[in-house]
Structure 1
Amino acid sequence: MSETSAPTAKPDPRLTAAIVASALFMQNLDSAAVTTALPSMAADMGVEPARLGAAITSYLVALTVFIPVSGWVADRFGAKRVFMVAIAVFTLASVLCGRATGVPEMIGARIIQGIGGAMMVPVARLLLLRQVRKEEMLSAMTWLTMPAMIGPISGPPLGGFLTDAFGWQSVFLINVPIGVLGLALVAWKIPDVPPGDPGPPDVVGLMLIGLALALFMFGLETVGRQVVPDGLPEAGLVLGLMFGWAAIRHCRQAARPALDLSLLQIRTFNQGTLAGSLFRIGAGATPFLVPMLLQVGFGKTASAAGLVSFATALGALAMKPLTRPILRRFGFRTVLIGTSVLAAAGVAVCALFTPSWPLSVIFLLLALGGLFRSLQFTALNTLSFADIPTTRLSAATSFSGTVQQLAPALGVVLATTSLEASKALGGHHLATVPDFAVAFVVAALVVLASCPFFLRLSPDAGEEVSGHHLVAGRRRAPAE
């Protein structure tokens, strides 16, 4: 009797999506607010704002290094239990960030925060994907990302207001009530997921991947900046590449690898994950550059910069209800190609901003760019899992999460490196408006570079998820 009643007791995926999105909300709120508070943090700590980009990249690198093990941990100890512990770690690390008095302390606290985020976000997606059918996936992803978009929307203005009114420390402490609420909702409404037996973890693979990512990102973050002894950045880059090569070889041969490279044989996962990384890297540079430009280049307050910067996320939220009908009408291939071009144009136009531009015009252009980026992100996230078998969801979420978190870290490195290079060529020590223009152009070119890869997609890619085949079939029917 209990077996026949089980399906009716299955929780609504939309409710699950809305609740687990509290984790994405907290993470995105944190990331958006911290970027706005960066100049104030740098002033208190006596460093250049661009140098404090390490506080962002250290967090993102920690995310990337620990995400590969998230799928195994969720299977071994139960996804709900791991999710709740991750929220607690992230929240407690936020308190440590708010108490930091120097750059080393901040980086250490951000690394702990990143470990919590590494378990939190992929496991949240895994909790949802295990409950939905393919035809429900696009709707569930939209429900998952819509609440999470409130974080980027509220992050910049909230971060600016908190920084001006209470100091940058309050930007981190705001995570405490959000984390407590998220824990309560998960404990109350999310069903338990029993632990499984995923077998032993791929310790060698995890160590190789972690070393490769950490060393490579250390090299990128420090090269040419005279913040560590000469030769260390270059050594980090070389060792990172060597460990990366060893990690790839190991994962190809291991029975249960830390990263299942065979997933790349699934075309939709390959394009959505790897080709989409170029888009994510270029787009990931703009949340760092825009508030920095407005404060360092234009002399605006943190509050004013936050109010303008949140336009991108506002445009992204406005696009969410339109995502499903657009993908249904045009299909993944057309949408991905078109939005990569339009989003690149949206990033490139930022290079034209000067202090004489009205803030209202800048706000409008950023909101338009947010529309296209939002559509692209949802399409990429959904396409990546369109053809993944249920038995491989844990491996796929770990793989996809690793790549997705590495991309924003590389985006920040791309932004800071472009600024430093432009400053060096210009012969000045402080970033000027032309330096930001160079960085925006570089980011736009990286976004545009994703377009040729999407051209390789089949016109019917992911159509079972998007429903595009139904629309195309109706258009062909009269002719037939």
Structure 2
Amino acid sequence: MTSPLYRQPLLWLVALGFFMQTLDATILNTALPSIAASLGESPLRMESVVIAYLLTVALLMPASGWLADRFGTRRVYLAAILLFALGSLACAESRTLWQLVLARVLQGIGGAFLMPVGRLAVLRSFPGPQLLGAMSFVVMPGLIGPMLGPVLGGWLVEYASWHWIFLLNLPIGLLGAWAVRRYMPDFREPGQPGFDWVGFLLLGGGMVMLSLGLQGFGELGMGGAAAGLLMLGGLAGMVSYWLHAARTPHPLFALSLFQTQSFAVGLLGNLFARLGSGAMPFLLPLMLQLALGYSPLAAGLAMMPVALAAMASKTIVEQLLNRFGYQRLLTVNTVLVGLMIASFALLGQSTPTWWLAIQLALFGAVNSIQFTAMNTLTLKDLEGRGASGGNGLLSMTMQLSISLGVASAAAMLSAFQQHFGAGQTLAVFRATFVCVGLLGALAALIFAQLDEATRPPEKAAP
């Protein structure tokens, strides 16, 4: 247990790491058109910059706990902050798209360990009665980052340059590195079972091939056969992991987790529901700038109602669950999220700003309710080691789903651009929003399989 003298600085340290991660996840989207112009690329083919980071985080996140137990929380967290800062510097110095993609991979290696290892240090530092307050403090930057990121990204692009989006992480990273050496406890857990490297390679390889296959239909310019083979290879890798985990004493993620109905439905629902909503931070700033003529700063400011409504709606999730239960709430709300996504196809040059703000706020509210209810459903019936493994698998699935959602949306943009032809940017985005909304709404079929009597939790998860 950590000395009480160091507990509060530890919370600030972990919150700082989480802030870096969540800010970076949203600050980039507003700047994509400007980065594309600087690198001589099409703004509609910049999804690899987003996907490279998300996929790297999803791939490496399962190894975070094992590495922390093996090498200590202090070393791993220090390495994570330094790699994130180094990756940020490499991003700012990139001169081509592929240099930027590789730099984002480096940044993602650090980002994959920031929150899991920080959460682990907090978990082992605070006694049970104090843990809820500690975790609430740590996750608060996760609500502030998405609100500040688009505005700050737009402001930096408009009044400085896109390079400062990444350079901003350097002083934060140096401050964090100093604080890690001073305040981060060095927890280790010797005697843990060996890491499931075979399972890690099978599952990770499957994820990468599936994502690259989807990208191949869009930005990467692959033929249909090559992209299809990659997607089939990805599915084969995931099926192989399933068979491997069934006969391995200590798999990366135990298949017994899926014997719990709430976990199985919640995880699969998360995977498919986020295919739609996960693409929105990528699509919306692009549409506002490329199709509706917004400046980067105006596009960033336009995204604020999403974050504000998301924060406000979290206060009513528990009451909604108590009144309607998981099955009804998630089935109906998933359809509402899909309809709200599709409704952005109605935007045009004459759409009033106040109407756009209402539309964005409504989307932010139903989307936040969706995330909170899905996450709570997935984890609420897990205990002991199952809770740790289930939380890790949920975190990985969330990142993977957002990555696949962005890849799917980009593939649709590419397909509709070829269908409608040059000069039809608004029509391209409208068709894409309708398809993305339908894709997300289909997850309602998964949540409909829940037992109607599934009890609500005592406290909804953040």
TM-score normalised by the chain length of structure 2: 0.89
Within the candidate set 132, 151, 155, 1:157 is matched to 151
Within the candidate set 446, 449, 452, 1:456 is matched to 449
Which residue of structure 1 aligns with residue 31 of structure 2?
37
Single out whichever of 86-95 and 133-142 deviates more from structure 2: 133-142
* Counterpart contact for 2:156–2:162, Cα < 8 Å: yes
Deviation per residue, 1:366-394 (Å, 9 max, x gap): 02211121122122223322222233344
The alpha-carbon deviation at position 38 of structure 1 amounts to 0.4
Paired positions, count:
461
The alpha-carbon deviation at position 337 of structure 1 amounts to 3.2
* Counterpart contact for 2:207–2:234, Cα < 8 Å: yes
Unaligned residue ranges in structure 1 (runs of 5+): 1-5, 469-480
Q: Residues 15-414 of structure 1: matches in 2 within 5 Å? A: 20-127=14-121, 143-183=137-177, 191-223=185-217, 227-228=221-222, 231-327=225-321, 330-414=324-408
Aligned to 2:221, the other structure's residue is in SS state coil
Q: Residues 395-474 of structure 1: matches in 2 within 5 Å? A: 395-426=389-420, 428-429=421-422, 432-459=425-452, 461=454, 463-466=456-459
The alpha-carbon deviation at position 447 of structure 1 amounts to 2.2
Q: Give 1:454's aligned amino acid.
A: F
Single out whichever of 16-25 and 109-118 deviates more from structure 2: 16-25
The alpha-carbon deviation at position 291 of structure 1 amounts to 0.5
The alpha-carbon deviation at position 423 of structure 1 amounts to 1.7
* Counterpart contact for 1:77–1:196, Cα < 8 Å: no
The alpha-carbon deviation at position 315 of structure 1 amounts to 1.5
Deviation per residue, 1:154-184 (Å, 9 max, x gap): 1111000001111111111122233344455
The alpha-carbon deviation at position 296 of structure 1 amounts to 0.7
Deviation per residue, 1:175-224 (Å, 9 max, x gap): 22333444556666665433333221111111112221112211110225
Aligned to 1:199, the other structure's residue is in SS state coil
* Counterpart contact for 1:91–1:179, Cα < 8 Å: yes
Task: Rate the CA distance shift 1:30–1:43 in 2: closer, same or farther, 3 A.
Answer: same
Aligned to 2:94, the other structure's residue is in SS state coil
Task: Rate the CA distance shift 1:190–1:340 in 2: closer, same or farther, 3 A.
Answer: farther
Task: Rate the CA distance shift 1:187–1:343 in 2: closer, same or farther, 3 A.
Answer: farther
Q: Give 1:107's aligned amino acid.
A: V
- Paired with 2:406 and 2:204, the residues of 1 have a C-alpha distance of 19
Q: Taking every aligned residue pair, what percent have the same amino acid on both sides?
A: 34
Unaligned residue ranges in structure 2 (runs of 5+): none
Deviation per residue, 1:21-62 (Å, 9 max, x gap): 433322221121111100011111111112111111111111
* Counterpart contact for 2:121–2:185, Cα < 8 Å: no
Single out whichever of 437-446 and 185-194 deviates more from structure 2: 185-194
Q: Give 2:347's aligned amino acid.
A: F
Task: Rate the CA distance shift 1:337–1:141 in 2: closer, same or farther, 3 A.
Answer: farther
TM-score normalised by the chain length of structure 1: 0.86
RMSD: 3.1
Task: Rate the CA distance shift 1:467–1:330 in 2: closer, same or farther, 3 A.
Answer: farther
The alpha-carbon deviation at position 133 of structure 1 amounts to 9.5
Q: Give 1:457's aligned amino acid.
A: L
The alpha-carbon deviation at position 243 of structure 1 amounts to 2.1
Aligned to 1:195, the other structure's residue is in SS state coil
- Paired with 1:182 and 1:364, the residues of 2 have a C-alpha distance of 38
Task: Rate the CA distance shift 1:467–1:96 in 2: closer, same or farther, 3 A.
Answer: closer
- Paired with 2:399 and 2:460, the residues of 1 have a C-alpha distance of 29
- Paired with 1:74 and 1:235, the residues of 2 have a C-alpha distance of 36
